[in-house]
Every structure is written in C-alpha cells, then in structure tokens.
Chain A
Amino acid sequence: GEDVEQSLFLSVREGDSSVINCTYTDSSSTYLYWYKQEPGAGLQLLTYIFSNMDMKQDQRLTVLLNKKDKHLSLRIADTQTGDSAIYFCAETSGGYNKLIFGAGTRLAVHP
C-alpha cells in the first residue's frame, strides 16, 4: 500500500548540515517532493526529484534518491535558525496530483 515514513525529530547546531530521511513504498512514483511548513503556515515546495535521477542540488539543498531501497534524503547545508520547521517528504500515487505525505520531521536548529 501507500506509505511514506520519516523520523519525527532532528536537532542540529547552527552552521552544521542537516539530513532528513524518508522511505516510501510506491515504486511507480514519478516524482518525489520535499515540502517545508512553518508554524501557522501552509506548505512550501522546497524541491523535487524525478524518479530517474539519483541526485539533485539546489543551492543549500541536496536531494538523494536510492530507488532500489526506496529511500529519499534531504540535506540542508549550513543550517540556519530560519530553517527550523517541519519538513515533509511526499510521493505521487495513483497518477495525477495525489500526494502521499510522511508524518513530517521537525527540525530544530540551536545556536
């Protein structure tokens, strides 16, 4: 069935790198996404990766995809306090625009 799993909490020091991990089940997913949600706000699309790619870099963000293990990760370089938020991994399922989300990883950045 459709399922996306993420660890629930990550704490890092300001300036360090953060790595948020995600596993998914739908091998037919065409795209995989990372969204960020700040308190009281909607979801902000951070980046996405096409299923035939292994890696995508976008400024401080690096996405790695291991399709064999159905594992996705998001690395944030030089993490700042403004990066504190909940990060959601999502896969497309059943075609069209149905997204299946993980439970979200709360990233806490401390000085």
Chain B
Amino acid sequence: KAGVTQTPRYLIKTRGQQVTLSCSPISGHRSVSWYQQTPGQGLQFLFEYFSETQRNKGNFPGRFSGRQFSNSRSEMNVSTLELGDSALYLCASSSTSGNNEQFFGPGTRLTVL
C-alpha cells in the first residue's frame, strides 16, 4: 500500500505571494491533517479535513486555508506569504476506525524569501 504523498517537496516563494500544497492520503483513509514544523515553534496543528469538511482547526491566521476533495486528496493554501511561514509542512492521513493512527508524508519544505 502506497504511503502519504506530498507535492511539491520543495518550494521557494517571495513575500506576498501565495502557495498551494498538495497531499494524497493512504488509499482508503478519509481524514487528512496538516501540521507546520519550524525550529522555533516545533510541530503545530493547522487543520483536519474529513469527508470534504474541516473538522478541526488550530490557531493559525485566516491566510492559512485548506480543502479536501471527494477522493480524499487535500490541498492547503497560504496567501500573502510572510518570512515566518518558512517551514516544513506535513500532512498526515488516518483511517476512521481503530486507534486514530496518523501516518505522515515526507513534507513540503517551503522557503519564503
């Protein structure tokens, strides 16, 4: 079974631009969560989508948004990029049964210049 895939793996943007990151969950998983990892703040929860609906949200500004498609693939968007948005963005997928194990993708490394 293929794991969680994220594209692109690396991105370089400039301040003020917007960016879209993509995540394809493990086949059969309907929940996708997004996390931001930075050296200063560590791993922080952004949001979770389940069946195309945002089910949970972290404490990030409205510039961070996401969506989920009917095939469970998810995208997150960051508008008006700031230098502090430079981070590793991780996506995790989970099935709806059992112990809520979340399986992470390799991440997208975003650098904002």
Contact = CB atoms under 8 A, between A and B. Distances in A.
Contacts of A100: 45
B64 interface: no
Interface string A72-111: 0000000000000000101010111111111110000000
B100 A97 contact: yes
Interface residues of A, number: 25
Q: Interface on chain A toward B: helix, strand, loop, or mixed SS?
A: strand
Interface in A9-44: 30-31, 33, 35, 41-44
Given A97-B48, A101-B42, A43 B56 contact: no
Contacts of A50: 99
Contact of B33 (A33, A88, A98, A104): A98
B31 A31 contact: no
A33 B35 CA distance: 16
A33 to B, nearest CB: 8
A96 B50 contact: yes
B92 A97 contact: yes
